[in-house]
Amino acid sequence: MFVNSCNVVVLISGNGSNLQALIDQSENRGYRVAGVVCNDPAAFGLQRAAKAGVPAVIVEHRDFPDRETFDHALLEAIDAFAPDLIALAGFMRILGPAFVQEQAGRILNIHPSLLPKYTGMHTHRRVLEAGEREHGVSIHFVNEELDGGPIVARSRIAVREEDDEESLTGRVHRLEHDLYPRVTGWFAAGRLRLRDDGVYLDGNRLPATGIEEATPPGI
């Protein structure tokens, strides 16, 4: 029997549709979702994990007096799953610098914009308000800056005349569900690495905006 050797722990705060995509495509992409860590007991993603038989742990930030103690508890919960990779998938807490430095090169995040543009919240609304003609998704290694670490990959879509926040959110989600499992598979296969001078895929250093991945048809 083939045993996936790359253990991934997925951190979520809410709906967990990216978690679902990561679980659904894990076998094809050659990694294993070993566990889920969540900071909100009401997150729908916890139901997805339960349905898929993936163990989940809740570490509620409200239970901790400060970021350091929360980060410590979070790391303990993560470590219990012995992960090779930590994948942030809609995890809406900022991780402290000590955590991020300790795990450098082992944490990925997905963000719904063409980074470095539109870090932070409400990206779809802000893209529409700014009259952008393009929008998309980025996956990056996590560092101390919010949505600011070295970019691995991006996929883009054209903003349509008739797009509103809801339609744009839906289309970007479909892009995310395609791209995140793919990039996770690269990491699992040892193809993707963060080094001091940048992100490497198959031994080649990527440009600062990462690799451009084609948009799947129909999005």
Catalytic residues: 111
Could you tell me how many residues make up the chain? 219
Interaction of residue 90 with ligand GAR, rule CB under 6 A: yes
Backbone angles phi, psi at 155, to 5 degrees: -130, 150
Interaction of residue 35 with ligand GAR, rule CB under 6 A: no
Helices (H), 43-195: 45-52, 67-79, 97-102, 123-129, 165-188
Contact pick of 89, 142, 168, 211 for ligand GAR (by CB under 6 A): 89
Interaction of residue 95 with ligand GAR, rule CB under 6 A: no
Instruction: Give whichever of 75 and 110 is closer to ligand GAR, judged by the CB atom.
Output: 110
Instruction: Give whichever of 18 and 143 is closer to ligand GAR, judged by the CB atom.
Output: 18
Minimum CB separation of residue 111 from ligand GAR in Å reads 5
Instruction: Give whichever of 79 and 145 is closer to ligand GAR, judged by the CB atom.
Output: 145
Rounded Cα distance, 143 and 158, in Å: 29
Instruction: Give whichever of 128 and 200 is closer to ligand GAR, judged by the CB atom.
Output: 128
Q: Which stretch binds ligand GAR (CB under 6 A): 71-79, 97-105, 110-118, 152-160?
A: 110-118
Rounded Cα distance, 211 and 214, in Å: 10
Interaction of residue 147 with ligand GAR, rule CB under 6 A: yes
Interaction of residue 39 with ligand GAR, rule CB under 6 A: no
Interaction of residue 149 with ligand GAR, rule CB under 6 A: no
Encoding tokens for residue 76? Answer: 């303990």
Interaction of residue 14 with ligand GAR, rule CB under 6 A: yes
Order across the sheet with 198-201: list the strands: 192-195, 198-201, 204-205
Number of residues that bind ligand GAR (CB under 6 A): 14
Do the beta carbons of residue 127 and residue 111 sit within 8 Å? no
Rounded Cα distance, 86 and 103, in Å: 9
Residue whose beta carbon is closest to ligand GAR: 90
Question: Which residues, 6+ apart, have CB-to-CB distance to 219 below 8 Å?
Answer: 157, 171, 174, 175, 178
Q: Give the binding site for ligand GAR (CB under 6 A).
A: 12, 14-18, 45, 89-90, 110-112, 147, 176
